Structure 1
Amino acid sequence: MSADRLEQQLAFLTEIDRLKTVERSTQITDGSRVENSAEHSWHLALYALILSPYAAENVDIFLSIRMLLLHDLVEIDVGDHPIDVQTDWAAVAEKELVAAKRIFGLLPNDQAHDLLAIWTEFEAAETPSAKFAKYLDWSQPIFMTLFNPDRPDAHIDVVMNNLETGRASVLRQEFPEVHSYATRLLGWSDTAPEKDFQARIDFLAEMDKLKSVLRATTLCDASRRENSGEHSWHIAMYALILGEHADRPMRMDRVLKMILIHDLVEIDAGDKPIHGDHDTAKMAMIEQAAADRIFGILPTDQRIELRALWEEFEAAESDDAVFAKSIDRVQPVIANLETGGGSWIEYNVSRQQLEDRVGWKVAKGAPALWSYLQGRLRSWFAQNA
């Protein structure tokens, strides 16, 4: 694999870190701030995974997940456009296409072509997989608002208009479970939602709390600490782009599932910085209890499946988990290099400590990636020892 190709891929992954600074109009469910487009993209991908039992048979769930992971990247250049603000949507579409070509154009040609095609399919919303992704994109802000006890009255007005006469009104026919539960939450209906559907939506609302878990790593512009929701989105993108560097045969769809759920336990357990000092046994017990509660919200079949997948990621023994772990470990390294040291300075990290706690895990799953970074690492530690 050429160094130029990897350099292009990492340049793209660093550039899209900027999506974490694009603010939307919807508040996170605790009402403390507005959501950003990166954590929104993670949450939507999780929506697709959790609500997959309600997708039509001809929907490719993992294509929908890919669409949702990358659908808002154009907002890095054009920003978010709330549905309740009068907008020239044709002009926005033209600007978004220009943005898509620029952003995906940072990648090697084959990947740029493939991702632009996925983004274009989502925007057209004509295929079953794109329609399912679009319906989720319309549904998530509705439930975010309805589950937010401190939502502004104006936000409820937007939800009501959207469900009654706006774009989400089509959900009455196309995704009746969503429309029915939303209208019940509004007090428009007395019809109780189907038990498993309600459990899945309740789970997704609870998972919104991951957006408030702060990590040691900062954004690439060093403006603030990264949260675990947007981190999960970013490493899912890392996996998609860097999958060709895996040292073992892995299944990307399973890797993406692992990544989407791998940090959910941090809602209860918090983030434990890799370079911090922790009681490992105590931390494992806390995370197991968190997994019991969090996955326990789901219906039995999904609870068993996703809990087992989380355990597999934690064990890091299967080919899929080894690669997922390597990607999880390498993203903070690149963020620290981009910010002049970041958490390495804060935790007084040595080169040997980085190798002992991070390097071997990256090298185990993607040795070419770790090898490529050696020059930058040698240079940084030589200047900052």
Structure 2
Amino acid sequence: MSNDHVPPGSPPHEKGRMHALLAFLQSAERLKDTLRSGRTAMGRPESTAEHTWRLCLLAMLLERDLPGVDHHRLLKICMLHDLGEAISGDVPAPAQGADDGRHARERDGFEELCSELPRDLHEEFLELYDDYTQGRSIEAQFAKGLDKLETMLQHVAGKNTPGFDYAFNLGYGIEATSRHPLLVRLRRIVDEETRISMTGPT
């Protein structure tokens, strides 16, 4: 990409910064092709980018119901939380294990992508990512709980393959969805939707 794309008169450091931002964006595009085990309502595999989009939409919908939460930070965490999967790929929830090395691989992938960023954004993104994985802030805890709920909702909405294990939802992400009364309320609704899916159409 040439400097012709930068407005005339821009200082040299801004030209370099804009190139770095766009290079990062192009690398992050790989998340569109990172597929998950969930299915859309039409039956095709969803991408991690699509999951991230709907997670952010869910967080936006709840803004007025979460006083005291920094919603800008919450959306940033939601946007970045699975970005490392653009490098490492997604591991379906039923296949995840405590000692499978998944978290380290995802963080390595995240660091690889962020290495293209200017230092200020590199440091900010890593701080947000580590907050999410460690659950330090209330925003990170909500992001993790909503992440689980969005996954469960996709299982309910999707046109799944025969024999799909809907019962998996009922034991999934219980700790993450128990940290706030609103998450608990949402969990009850999603669990009920799951039970309806288990019994099939009436």
Same fold (TM over 0.5): yes
- For residue 236 of structure 1, what is the amino acid of its counterpart? C
Match for residue 85 of structure 2 among 266, 271, 293:
266
Match for residue 312 of structure 1 among 111, 131, 136:
131
How far apart, CA to CA, are the structure 1 residues paired with 2:162 and 2:114? 33
The question of 1:238 aligning with 2:55 is answered no
How far apart, CA to CA, are the structure 1 residues paired with 2:16 and 2:171? 47
The question of 1:226 aligning with 2:52 is answered no
Deviations 1:280-324 (A, max 9, x none): 351122122212211111111110011110111111232101111
Matches of residues 49-60 of structure 1 in structure 2 within 5 Å?
Answer: none
Residue aligning to 1:358: 173
> What RMSD, in angstroms, separates the aligned Cα atoms of the two structures?
2.9
How far apart, CA to CA, are the structure 2 residues paired with 1:292 and 1:382? 43
Residue aligning to 2:32: 211
TM-score (norm 1): 0.45
TM-score (norm 2): 0.82
Match for residue 19 of structure 2 among 198, 204, 229:
198
Deviations 1:61-114 (A, max 9, x none): xxxxxxxxxxxxxxxxxxxxxxxxxxxxxxxxxxxxxxxxxxxxxxxxxxxxxx
Contact 1:336 1:344 in 2 (8 A): no
Count of matched residue positions in the alignment of Structure 1 and Structure 2: 195
- For residue 5 of structure 2, what is the amino acid of its counterpart? H
User: Which runs of 5 or more structure 1 residues have no equivalent in the other structure?
Assistant: 1-145, 147-176, 184-190
SS at match of 2:194: helix
The question of 1:378 aligning with 2:195 is answered yes
How far apart, CA to CA, are the structure 1 residues paired with 2:53 and 2:89? 18
User: Which runs of 5 or more structure 2 residues have no equivalent in the other structure?
Assistant: none
Give the C-alpha shift of residue 201 in structure 1: 1.1
SS at match of 2:136: coil
SS at match of 2:37: strand
Match for residue 367 of structure 1 among 181, 184, 189:
184
Q: Does the C-alpha gap of structure 1 residues 344 and 309 become closer, same or farther in structure 2, counting only changes over 3 Å? A: farther
How far apart, CA to CA, are the structure 1 residues paired with 2:62 and 2:4? 35
SS at match of 1:358: coil
Give the C-alpha shift of residue 279 in structure 1: 5.9
Q: Does the C-alpha gap of structure 1 residues 195 and 356 become closer, same or farther in structure 2, counting only changes over 3 Å? A: same
- For residue 206 of structure 1, what is the amino acid of its counterpart? S
Q: Does the C-alpha gap of structure 1 residues 286 and 339 become closer, same or farther in structure 2, counting only changes over 3 Å? A: closer
- For residue 27 of structure 2, what is the amino acid of its counterpart? E
Give the C-alpha shift of residue 358 in structure 1: 2.1
SS at match of 2:92: coil
Identity of aligned residues (%): 20
The question of 1:301 aligning with 2:127 is answered no
Q: Does the C-alpha gap of structure 1 residues 279 and 324 become closer, same or farther in structure 2, counting only changes over 3 Å? A: closer
How far apart, CA to CA, are the structure 2 residues paired with 1:345 and 1:196? 50
Match for residue 289 of structure 1 among 108, 111, 123:
108
Q: Which has the higher contact order (CA 8 A, sep 6+)?
A: 2
Contact 2:21 2:117 in 1 (8 A): yes
